Amino acid sequence: MGKEPLSFSRRSSRRRTKKGAEAPQPIAAATLSPNNAAGASNKPKKKAGGARLWMRFDRFGQSELIECDKNTIIKRVSIPARDLRILGPVFSHSSNILAREKAMVVNLEFIKAIVTAEEVLLLDPLRQEVLPFVDQLRQQLPQKIPFKIHGAGQRAEQDNEIHFSTGGQCLTVPESVEGLRCELPFEFQVLEIALEVVCTYLDSSVADLERDAYPVLDELARNVSTKNLEHVRSLKSNLTRLLARVQKVRDEIEHLLHDNEDMAQLYLTRKWIQNQQYGALLGAPTSNSMINAAPYLCYHSSNKSGSWMSSNNLDDRDVEDLEILLEAYFMQLDGTRNKILSVREYIDDTEDYVNIQLDNQRNELIQLQLTLTITLLPIALETMIAGMFSMNIPCPLYNINGIFGIFVGVLSAACILLFLLVLGYCRWKKLLG
């Protein structure tokens, strides 16, 4: 009886959804600023089932908050579902940079994003750790447009401009920028910002660890107590976790540096331009956004003359720009890792010093125990002899006057002599310091 009303309400709600007005779109556009980011995090909106909060950035720095489910994201960026699971909470502590046909999946520490040649989708942008990354995207992406590109039909500002043809569109590049290196593609700009934010966060974490570690270790070296040992134990656990996090990011970058094919697959802008040109050759209309990708041209100079070449004319294995970018942050992470290892070495040295101190104290206690044992040996012998003469047994010595003092003196001298002999033997064997 209790299940029938529940099923009826579900059916009626489905009918109202089909017959009524269209359901609100999962995309709720709203520009997020650093000032209202904290307020938005305090009052989150109710999400639909399976929908998660994302922030979308385009190549010009325009941003908006959207709520999308997994299927919408998969269709939007054309990635398999298993790649989206990497961004989930199960793999939250893993570090991955995956290259796909039309997107790049970035999972570095707290930064979980999907980057394409035209936009970047950032997961959970209202987290406290992710806000610096959002601010960097807002500040740097609009400034990354190197120069203006004139479309076909526009008058060139200079007579000595070089015209470059791309899929029926004439792109002009002023010679005034000759000698300047081209800007990185959009996806590499986002990857660079992500690596910069992550490396800065890890460096600050290591700095905090160093600031807390050295006073605790110095205090332990001065005073070995249970409280200080507990502090060092907590410090070692934090250091191990931080080292593992740095090592994961470092290993992922190292894996990319050792595989040129994976690095070549990360050139999303190059593949996007190639697809646009291929569509233009087939007679498909060229997209206007293709002109926006034209600034990412590479300048190759020679001794005689220079020539502008589009990035799609390069070999797929030409990954010099990405390799330089990754090597820079690899060296930075390697330095961060060395700082952590130096702290761990200092901890190990402090523990060795403490163990030496404890061993020394233990040896002193053993020597004291041995000295007491040597002292008790003649005293016990004298006590035994005195106990023997205290029995009620007839003895001729009892009848001699003044024998008591002489007997006690001789017995005491013999015990002292025995003590000195045993003590000298222990010193000769180096049993006592």
Give residue-wise pLDDT tens across range 172-191.
333 333 333 457 788 888 99
Q: Which pair of structure tokens corresponds to residue 62?
A: 């325009």
Cα–Cα distance between 61 and 152 in angstroms, integer?
25
The residue ranges of every structural domain in the chain are 24-132, 162-181+268-313, 357-428
Cα–Cα distance between 291 and 286 in angstroms, integer?
9
Instruction: Name the burial class of residue 319, with classes exposed (0-12), middle (13-18) and buried (19+) by CB atoms within 10 angstroms of its CB.
Output: buried
Task: Please identify every stretch of the chain with a pLDDT value under 70, giving residue numbers as ranges.
Answer: 1-49, 90-92, 143-182, 283-318
Cα–Cα distance between 321 and 327 in angstroms, integer?
10
Question: What pLDDT is recorded for position 144?
Answer: 52
Phi, psi dihedrals of residue 107, rounded to the nearest 5°: -130, 90
Residues 76-121: tens digit of each pLDDT: 888 888 888 888 776 667 788 988 888 889 998 889 999 998 889 9
Other Cβ atoms closer than 10 A to 171: 23
Question: What pLDDT is recorded for position 340?
Answer: 94
pTM of the model: 0.66
Question: What pLDDT is recorded for position 78?
Answer: 83
What CATH code is assigned to 24-132?
2.40.128.330
- Residue 134: helix, strand or coil by DSSP? helix
Strands 52-58 and 298-301: unpaired
Question: What pLDDT is recorded for position 180?
Answer: 34
Question: What pLDDT is recorded for position 61?
Answer: 79
Question: What pLDDT is recorded for position 182?
Answer: 54
Question: What pLDDT is recorded for position 159?
Answer: 37
Phi, psi dihedrals of residue 163, rounded to the nearest 5°: -95, 135
Question: What pLDDT is recorded for position 244?
Answer: 93
Cα–Cα distance between 260 and 141 in angstroms, integer?
27
